[in-house]
């Protein structure tokens, strides 16, 4: 029996179709990685394609590693010649070889998000931009979007004619690019943009890579942006043997520039393309899939498909509604603990998914109290920590002296008595002469007004030159040790009584572990380990890559981070209108916004293999205020026949009054005016079961006050007292009979 006999009919069709453009619409859990790896094996084994001529592109380092492993297992000999990499890694390899054609040195630095922030600050300062009017984050976002859409600074300047604000942004973009070039640095967007520019302007380089990559496969094609689409089109331009795999129903990265039209319009771009749908799911139960299909069916901008499975029906989806977010977290953590204590589950079988990072805090607190091990994916990145940034800046300076940001970061770390005034004078000298900051340091004797700081700057320059000389004969790990010893960085931390000092030292140790691991992996692949190579690897590490599947802990992550992963039991929390879908989405004029949120919900549901629990809360603290929300419209799109509400939910539905904490009760009592006459409590006699026609959390309309949110309903006498928080008129109390409020659906 051959390896191809284990594939289903549709999978086989996708594997055996090798010539010309191919779109594989692969639903969640339909075995797309398996199809890609078997397709590579088929090309080599049966078609006789040289592994050298195959390129496979993925989005994360984790996915690239998994694919590489699987290809090695199936193909064996020759598989090391196949390029399996992320878009960014591939572009770095091309640019390291040819970027000098665009006027850069091949030892360029890659700027991470923090470096970009520092640079944009400098640019704003230099151009005297009012950062209250033009937020640094917004400027960076505008620059990134421009690069994603292949818009140059010159083009942006032309488009901005007549618009003052746009002209300012174009000015920032122009200076930002100038500074990057001066620092011999590229940001993440540049890695793609410069590669496209290189292929567009250098016909011989384009021809080389078109010949090299005769067979191209792209995973997660629905997440590609305009510049990635252009890059793939250029590389596949000659032979057209382009196979793209994706699922338009899982396109959730619009905020990062992903363009769903790339996959929806694939047949327009390649009229002779073949389309194959993979609809058989191997991950989930049919109950989970039916729920996912029902939700996504409400989207119009999609290619028709419906997931099915032979896995069996499985358990019903658990649905629980709680009074507050605290009750929600309490239930989920207790439920996990009970299931683990029963001996049938481990902590790593569970994942809690939510819409925003802020929702993780309550779960974290409950986990700590309940002694449940957990890990947040997508929290503070290891490489964003201060001590790690410092030591990496030393390595960057040794590797590329033109990286001004790195040099400025470490010139007084550990403290050497070089003040901001001195740094400012050196910077002015560098700017005037259009040289790098480090070159100005080497010529510090010529900098006017430097005075007594000259000796300190010269000793810093001598230190860096020493590291550069040592770095040529030392391994990266040895160089790191030398930097730590010679600078006294660790000694300074050890002398610090700060309670964080210990964890900082542990982080430095972890960085050393990372360097050693990098050197060992180079040795295993028979490659030379270099400082540039290590810094490159660090720059390309994604948050998700830090997820260790072998460690026993509950995973907490946003829905965006969960894409591509699977867990036996998933809790999807915070399913309320205003939270998920978000308030911004609900109120947006563009219906495509809501469709993107629904795709995100679809991604969340399809992460579950065996069990899925959906939860929501009637009230939740948002931005320091209690918010009353209706259950999510996505919940209502799931047929009731697929849901189990359980005894807890039924009990909680009967509860009308929100619970008041002991702290709030005390606070209210304390705030009561002295000697104020106490109002006698009203006796309520309203007949049960006949409500006013709306509930707490519903939106209503009043003839005079307009629209608002019902925050409280109290039974009294022959009527209901209703408290409404109106959008424009503020909070009002009124009797339902006279108010004649209309519920807004």
Q: For residues 558 and 353, is the Cβ–Cβ distance under 8 A? A: yes
**At 617, phi and psi to the nearest 5?**
-130, 145
Contacts of 394 (CB under 8 A, 6+ apart): 406, 410, 467, 483, 487
**How many C-beta atoms lie closer than 10 Å to residue 484's C-beta?**
18
Residues across the chain:
745
**How many C-beta atoms lie closer than 10 Å to residue 203's C-beta?**
9
Tokens of 410: 């470490």
CA distances from 301 to 114, 144, 253, 591, 636 (A): 36, 26, 15, 10, 20
Among residues 182, 176, 177, which one has the least CA distance to residue 104?
Answer: 182
How far is Cα 248 from Cα 235, in angstroms, rounded to an integer?
Answer: 23
Among residues 22, 553, 524, which one has the least CA distance to residue 269?
Answer: 22
CA distances from 539 to 39, 301, 323 (A): 31, 35, 44
Tokens of 574: 């915070």
Q: For residues 684 and 735, is the Cβ–Cβ distance under 8 A? A: no
CA atoms within 13 A on the CB side of 552: 7
**At 716, phi and psi to the nearest 5?**
-155, 130
The catalytic site residues sit at: 32-33, 219-220, 250, 607
- The dihedral through the CA atoms of 591, 593, 599, 600 has a sign that is negative
Q: For residues 476 and 531, is the Cβ–Cβ distance under 8 A? A: yes
Locate tokens 């174009």: which residue?
170
- The dihedral through the CA atoms of 23, 25, 28, 33 has a sign that is negative
**At 681, phi and psi to the nearest 5?**
-70, 135
In sequence order, the β-bridge partners of residue 110 are 186
Per DSSP, the three-state class of 245 is strand
Contacts of 567 (CB under 8 A, 6+ apart): 349, 350, 351, 555, 607, 608, 609
* Beta strand extents in 211-282 (DSSP E only): 215-218, 242-246, 274-278
CA atoms within 13 A on the CB side of 136: 16
How far is Cα 260 from Cα 250, in angstroms, rounded to an integer?
Answer: 9
Tokens of 463: 């230190």
* Cβ neighbourhood burial of 544 (10 Å; 0-12, 13-18, 19+): buried
**How many C-beta atoms lie closer than 10 Å to residue 137's C-beta?**
11
With both helix axes pointing from N to C terminus, report the angle between 188-201 and 226-235 in degrees, rounded to the nearest 10.
40
Q: For residues 136 and 124, is the Cβ–Cβ distance under 8 A? A: yes
Q: For residues 684 and 715, is the Cβ–Cβ distance under 8 A? A: yes
Locate tokens 């006050």: which residue?
705
Residue by residue, DSSP assigns 319-372 as EEEEEEHHHHHHHHHHHHHHHHHTTS--GGGEEEEESSGGGHHHHHHHHHHHT-
Among residues 392, 666, 361, which one has the least CA distance to residue 537?
Answer: 392
Q: For residues 631 and 576, is the Cβ–Cβ distance under 8 A? A: yes
């Amino acid at each position: 029996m051959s390896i191809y006999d284990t594939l289903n009919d549709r999978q086989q069709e996708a594997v055996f179709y090798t010539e010309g453009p191919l779109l594989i619409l692969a639903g969640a859990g339909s075995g797309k990685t398996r199809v890609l790896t078997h397709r590579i094996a088929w090309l080599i084994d049966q078609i006789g394609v040289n592994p050298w001529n195959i390129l496979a592109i993925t989005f994360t380092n984790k996915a690239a590693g998994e694919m590489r492993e699987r290809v090695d297992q199936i193909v064996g000999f020759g598989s090391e010649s196949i390029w399996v990499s992320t878009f960014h890694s591939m572009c770095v390899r091309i640019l390291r070889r040819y970027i000098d054609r665009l006027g850069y040195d091949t030892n360029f630095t890659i700027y991470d998000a923090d470096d970009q922030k520092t640079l944009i600050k400098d640019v704003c300062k230099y151009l005297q931009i009012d950062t209250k009017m033009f937020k640094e984050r917004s400027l960076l976002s505008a620059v990134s979007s421009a690069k994603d859409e292949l818009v140059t600074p010159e083009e942006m300047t032309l488009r901005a004619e007549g618009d003052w604000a746009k002209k300012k942004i174009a000015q920032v973009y122009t200076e930002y690019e100038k500074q990057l070039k001066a620092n011999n640095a590229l940001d993440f967007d540049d890695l793609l943009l410069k590669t496209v520019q290189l292929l567009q302007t250098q016909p011989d380089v384009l021809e080389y890579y078109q010949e090299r990559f005769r067979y191209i496969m792209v995973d997660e094609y629905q997440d590609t942006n305009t510049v990635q689409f252009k890059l793939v089109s250029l590389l596949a331009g000659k032979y057209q043997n382009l196979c793209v795999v994706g699922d338009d129903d899982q396109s959730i990265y619009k905020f990062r520039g992903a363009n769903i039209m790339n996959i929806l319009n694939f047949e327009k771009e390649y009229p002779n393309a073949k389309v194959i749908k993979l609809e058989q799911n191997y991950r989930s139960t049919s109950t989970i899939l039916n729920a996912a299909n029902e939700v996504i069916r409400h989207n119009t901008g999609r290619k028709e498909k419906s997931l099915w499975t032979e896995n069996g029906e499985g358990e019903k989806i658990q649905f629980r509604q709680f009074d507050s977010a605290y009750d929600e977290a309490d239930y989920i953590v207790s439920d996990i603990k009970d299931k683990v204590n029963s001996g049938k589950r481990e902590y790593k079988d569970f994942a809690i998914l939510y819409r925003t990072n802020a929702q993780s805090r309550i779960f974290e607190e409950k986990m700590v109290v309940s002694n449940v091990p957990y890990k947040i994916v997508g929290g503070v990145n290891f490489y964003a920590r201060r001590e790690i940034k410092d030591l990496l800046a030393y390595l960057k300076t040794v590797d590329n002296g033109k990286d001004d940001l790195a040099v400025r970061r470490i010139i007084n770390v550990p403290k050497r008595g070089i003040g901001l005034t001195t740094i400012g004078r050196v910077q002015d000298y560098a700017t005037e002469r259009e040289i790098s900051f480090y070159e100005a340091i080497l010529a510090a004797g010529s900098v006017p007004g430097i005075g007594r700081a000259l000796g300190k700057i010269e000793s810093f320059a001598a230190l860096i030159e020493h590291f550069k000389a040592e770095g040529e004969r030392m391994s990266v790990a040895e160089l790191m040790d030398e930097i730590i010893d010679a600078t006294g960085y660790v000694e300074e931390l050890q002398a610090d009584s700060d309670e964080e000092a210990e964890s900082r030292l542990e982080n430095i140790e972890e960085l050393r572990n990372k360097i050693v691991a990098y050197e060992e992996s180079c040795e295993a692949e028979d490659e030379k380990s270099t400082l540039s190579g290590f810094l490159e690897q660090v720059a390309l590490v994604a948050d998700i890559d830090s997820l260790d599947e072998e460690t026993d802990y509950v995973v907490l992550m946003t829905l965006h981070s969960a894409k591509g992963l699977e867990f036996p039991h998933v809790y999807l929390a915070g399913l309320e209108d205003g939270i998920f879908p978000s308030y911004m989405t609900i109120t947006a004029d563009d219906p495509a916004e809501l469709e993107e949120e629904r795709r995100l919900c679809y991604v969340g549901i399809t992460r579950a293999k065996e069990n899925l629990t959906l939860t929501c809360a009637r009230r939740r603290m948002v931005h320091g205020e209690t918010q009353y929300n209706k259950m999510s419209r996505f919940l209502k799109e799931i047929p009731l026949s697929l849901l189990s509400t359980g005894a807890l939910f039924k009990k909680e539905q009967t509860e009308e009054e929100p619970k008041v904490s002991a702290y709030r009760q005390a606070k209210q009592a304390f705030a009561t005016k002295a000697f104020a006459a106490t109002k006698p409590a009203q006796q309520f006699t309203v007949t049960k079961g006949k409500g006013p026609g709306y509930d707490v959390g519903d939106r209503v309309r009043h003839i005079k006050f307009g629209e608002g949110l019902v925050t409280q309903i109290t039974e009294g006498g022959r009527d209901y007292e209703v408290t409404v928080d109106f959008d424009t008129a503020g909070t009002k109390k009124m009797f339902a009979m006279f108010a004649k409020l209309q519920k807004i659906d």
